[in-house]
Amino acid sequence: MSRAADNRSMLRRLTIFAVAMFGFGFALVPFYRAICEVTGINSLVKRDAPVNSQVDTSRWVTVELDGNTRGLAWSFAPTQRSVRVHPGELVHVVYRVRNESATPVVGQAIPSYGPRIAAGYFRKMECFCFQKQELAAGESREMPVVFVVDPELPKDVATVTLSYTFFELNGATPKPVQSGVTG
């Protein structure tokens, strides 16, 4: 056999080997997916639903809601008296307020917690108490509070009271416009 024939034979074998390896690489893809699906490793087929690992689903905490006013002619109360939550769970509650007076009034809400230790485990993301509230005469509105009870809340605390008290901000209330002749 000549040297040229040996080279062609070797080239043919290398080509067949390269094509076989290329085909083997393509054949591994479905095999790899099947193994991953069975073992659950590096799953490409189905995604797990996101889970908030911060939520303690092993226990419940009752959050009692309360609303009061001091020196204001406002009605103010939560839309529900209590909520039952898992520590770490994002909670949304709503308070309703109405200015019962004939003049606009500016107020500010101050939160308090019972038991007192709960204050350190209560995280508010959104709250009407973060800013002053101006209500026109007869105006009413709904005000949200979004919070999380920290999962580190001591296990013996099963009930937390969240109470808001609205106070009038002295000097912040707009004065009524007087009509009349000036002279």
Q: What angle do CA 161, 165, 168 make, to 5 degrees?
A: 170
What is the structure's pLDDT at 25?
A: 74
CA neighbor of 54 nearest in space, from 154, 152, 155, 183: 152
Question: What domains can you pick out in the chain, each with its CATH number?
Answer: 1-47 (no CATH), 61-168 (2.60.370.10)
What are the residue ranges in the chain where pLDDT is below 70? 1, 28, 35-53, 171-183
Q: Output the pLDDT for position 175.
A: 57
Alpha helices in 40-163 (DSSP H): none
b/e per residue 76-98 (b: at least 16 CB within 10 A): bbbeeebbebbbbbebebebebe
Residue 20: CB atoms within 10 A of its CB come to 10
**Structure confidence at residue 45 (pLDDT):** 45
Pairing verdict, β 90-99 and 74-78: antiparallel
Question: Looking at residue 58, what is its pLDDT?
Answer: 94
